[in-house]
């Protein structure tokens, strides 16, 4: 449906959304916008609107909606630029508007891929410890740059080495395999550590000290 072009004859607060208004042009409904956009544009009854002006107003509305969506996503958890871009794209927003939103959120400090990488890695190691290989892959999938990945991974294993993390997991897994013969138990532990993203050389080193895998060893 095309938007009429001409003089604004009425601006009415919408009944279901009190934060939005309906703009009527030459007596016909033209478009709906948020009150913030109305204030930003300064349009009023009696103003003449050209097609380009209407397009600009609709662009402001789209950007406001995209920003609101992004902020809502961030209220649930921290996200990388790529994650936000993907979600907004899936919601139907245009790329220029998404890029504008990301610039705004970065300027406001709400999006910071380096900080996101650090928090993601830290949380991952607390909730479900994994090896450097898998941690790097997960950060890469979220669009984090290599330099930020390196920094985040280094910090994640700052207090406890990757070997120590893998060994603690191996101890727990060994306990769960007590009813199996040693060969099967070792294989189960090895498979578990490999799935968690630990390199085979590290896994093999842990298995070489199989009999020493117990809680009482530091």
Local structure of 21: helix, strand or coil: strand
Contact between 130 and 197 under an 8 Å Cβ cutoff? The reply is yes
Give the sign of the dihedral formed by CA 37, CA 42, CA 43, CA 44: positive
Given this chain, do its domains 58-111 and 162-212 carry the same CATH topology? yes
Q: What is the pLDDT of residue 215?
A: 63
Q: What H or E segment, with its residue span, contains residue 49?
A: strand 48-49
In the CATH scheme, what is the code of domain 162-212? 1.10.10
What span, in angstroms and rounded, lies between the C-alpha atoms of 44 and 20? Answer: 15
In sequence order, which ranges of the chain are alpha helices (DSSP H)?
35-41, 51-76, 81-90, 95-107, 113-127, 132-141, 146-156, 162-176, 182-195, 200-207
Q: What is the pLDDT of residue 16?
A: 86
pLDDT the model gives residue 218: 43
pLDDT attached to residue 121: 96
CATH topology of domain 58-111: Arc Repressor Mutant, subunit A (1.10.10)
* Residue 13, pLDDT score: 94
**pLDDT tens digits, residue range 135-193?**
999 999 999 999 999 999 999 999 899 999 999 999 999 999 888 888 999 999 999 99
Q: What is the pLDDT of residue 179?
A: 84
Each domain of the chain, given as residue ranges in start order, spans 1-49, 58-111, 113-156, 162-212
Determine the pLDDT at residue 4.
63
Low-confidence ranges of the chain (pLDDT < 50): 217-218
pLDDT of residue 3: 62
């Amino acid at each position: 449906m095309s938007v009429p072009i001409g003089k604004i004859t009425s601006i009415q607060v919408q009944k279901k959304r009190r934060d939005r208004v309906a703009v009527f042009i030459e007596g016909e409904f033209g478009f709906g916008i948020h009150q913030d956009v109305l204030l930003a544009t300064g349009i009023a009854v009696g103003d003449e609107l050209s097609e380009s002006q209407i397009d600009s107003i609709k662009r402001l509305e789209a950007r406001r909606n995209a920003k609101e969506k992004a902020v809502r996503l961030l209220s649930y958890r921290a996200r990388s630029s790529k994650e936000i871009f993907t979600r907004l794209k899936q919601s139907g927003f245009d790329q220029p508007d998404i890029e504008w939103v990301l610039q705004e959120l970065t300027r406001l400090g709400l999006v910071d891929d380096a900080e996101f990488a650090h928090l993601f890695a830290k949380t991952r190691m607390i909730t479900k410890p994994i090896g450097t290989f898998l941690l790097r892959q997960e950060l890469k999938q979220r669009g984090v740059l290599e330099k930020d990945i390196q920094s985040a991974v280094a910090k994640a294993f700052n207090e406890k080495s990757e070997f120590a993390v893998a060994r603690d997991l191996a101890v727990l897994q060994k306990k769960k395999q007590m009813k199996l013969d040693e060969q099967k138990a070792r294989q189960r532990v090895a498979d578990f550590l490999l799935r968690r993203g630990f390199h085979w050389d590290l896994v093999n080193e842990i298995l070489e000290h199989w009999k020493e895998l117990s809680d009482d060893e530091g």
